[in-house]
Amino acid sequence: MLGATLPLQGLVDPFKSRSNPCSPLPTARTYSDVDGTIQPGTYSTQVTMTKNVTFAAGVYCFTSASTPALTFGSTALISGKGVTIYLVSGGLSVAAGSTLNLSAPTSGNTA
């Protein structure tokens, strides 16, 4: 449409002044699809979760070039408090039937 105004045009990005939570990259980690707790850090390979997984509080950087870098399968039951997920590359896939109960930090750089 010629002459149309974009409704979000002119808004300032509220996160532009924040630092990248994945710079420098946190501790390198690997993940195996098992029930249990996953720890904060950098995951450089494709991660697929289909089990009951608890995210410990902290920053999770997913850097896989594979698409998607992080997948929650249809049987995944995901929980965690104080969690920041930062997709550096690769994207995210959430299957129908998966359950996600994650909350962000209430203080700090990624709150």
pLDDT tens-digit profile, the chain (111 residues) = 455 566 666 767 666 677 777 877 778 888 878 789 999 999 988 899 999 999 999 999 998 888 899 999 999 999 999 999 998 888 899 999 999 999 999 998 888
- The Cα 28–Cα 14 span in angstroms is 29
Picking from 80, 92, 86, the residue whose alpha carbon sits closest to that of residue 110 is 86
pLDDT of amino acid 101: 97
Edge-to-edge strand list for the sheet holding 36-38: 36-38, 52-55, 77-80, 99-102
What pLDDT is attached to residue 71? 93
Question: What is the pLDDT, as a whole number, of residue 88?
Answer: 85
Residue 76, pLDDT score:
95
